[in-house]
Amino acid sequence: MYIFVSFSFDCTTVFMVNKDEYNLTVNFIYSHCLFCAGIDSLLASDWARLEELASLLEPFAAQTDILQRDAQALSSIIPALLDLECHLQQHAAPKTLTSAMLRDLRHRFGSVMLPTAEDFNPLPAAACLLDPSLARVLMAPDQAAVLHAAKSYIMQECDNGGGGTSSSSASSVPSDGDQPASSSALSRFRFLSSKMKAQERVVSSAVHSPHAAATQLARYLTEAADAESAVDPLDFWAARRSMYSTISPLAEDLLAAPASQAFVERIFSLCGLLSAGRRNRMDKSLQMRAFLKLNKHIC
């Protein structure tokens, strides 16, 4: 039985399956074992092994279902992978099996968990660090390399102006055409107004300087270390835009990104079904029908 199970794990797609695929996999293994053995039932020891296999695979299906939801942000990817690593390290299955799965898991997702990988992408790590409810995951001693990569990416984006595209950041420094009415009264004082404008430019550049970004990031990490796990990340940054004016736009951009494209792809598939064949002449809008179909569980 374990020979077949070990062979099935050579396919890396087994490591991230949803609930339906998980149930099909377990049922297929059960049917295959009975067919090969030429028997119509299993011994108690065989059932125990099958239950052990099911308990080994179930967390992978659960995490996949969670990450495929539209409410899960990019920041959830690394904690989910680390949770699966802990599951494999603590499971009672034979070490030869769990060790092989653990190696394959790290190899497959090395692009987001191993900073030394050639195809490493720091976006999930940066999103996790800028999520106050999950930032402590990267502050663990064994995640020092990923933490350093996330901090380097955040600093680089702030240096390149990647965090200054938010409307909240842009509105903090009004343009010449949006100056308040009181500034027009100072226009007749040429030298004084020019001095004040120069001071405003210096203050604005200092706020968005790399030194300011490093200071704000260090202050945020201190606050995130003591933050409650139930805090809403977007509300956290919205309430602190003035305090973290350099890094908050980048944080809001990363936390708005979904963890998976699966939900968006489901919407495209649903819209294709709703607009195909005889349904393309319905009076109700496609947007309304898709909304009702996706939210039927609350009706």
Taking alpha carbons only, the member of 98, 88, 81 closest to residue 259 is 81
Rounded CA gap, 278 and 275, in Å?
A: 8
The reported pLDDT for the residue numbered 116 is 92
102: burial class by Cβ within 10 Å (0-12, 13-18, 19+)? Answer: middle
The reported pLDDT for the residue numbered 270 is 80
229: burial class by Cβ within 10 Å (0-12, 13-18, 19+)? Answer: exposed
For residue 17, the tally of other CB atoms under 10 A from its CB is 17
The reported pLDDT for the residue numbered 153 is 94
Question: Which residues, including other chains, have CB under 8 Å from residue 30's CB and lie 6 or more apart?
Answer: 42, 50
4: burial class by Cβ within 10 Å (0-12, 13-18, 19+)? Answer: exposed
**Each residue's pLDDT expressed in tens, for the chain with a length of 299 residues:** 332 333 333 333 334 455 555 565 556 555 655 555 555 566 777 778 888 888 888 889 888 888 887 778 889 999 999 999 999 999 988 899 899 999 999 999 999 999 999 999 999 999 999 999 999 999 999 999 999 999 999 999 988 865 544 444 434 434 444 444 445 566 666 766 777 777 666 555 544 555 788 899 999 999 988 887 778 898 999 999 989 989 999 999 999 888 877 777 878 888 887 777 666 666 667 778 788 877 777 76
The reported pLDDT for the residue numbered 281 is 66
pTM for the predicted model, two decimal places: 0.68
The reported pLDDT for the residue numbered 209 is 58
Tokens 């947007």 belong to 287
Question: Which residues, including other chains, have CB under 8 Å from residue 264's CB and lie 6 or more apart?
Answer: 70, 258
Give Cα 126 distance to the centre of its chain.
9
Task: Quote the longest CA-to-CA distance of the chain.
Answer: 99
3-state secondary structure the chain: CHHHHHHHCCCHHHHCCCHHHHHHHHHHHHHHHHHHHCCCCCCHHHHHHHHHHHHHHHHHHHHHHHHCCCCCEHHHHHHHHHHHHHHHHHCCCCHHHHHHHHHHHHHHCHHHHCCCCCCCCCHHHHHHHCCCCCHHHCCCHHHHHHHHHHHHHHHHHHHCCCCCCCHHHHCCCCCHHHCCHHHHHHCCCHHHHHHHHHHHHHHHHHHCCHHHHHHHHHHHHHHHHCCCCCCCHHHHHHCCCCCCCCCHHHHHHHHCCECCCHHHHHHHHHHHHHCCHHHHHCCCCHHHHHHHHHCHHHC
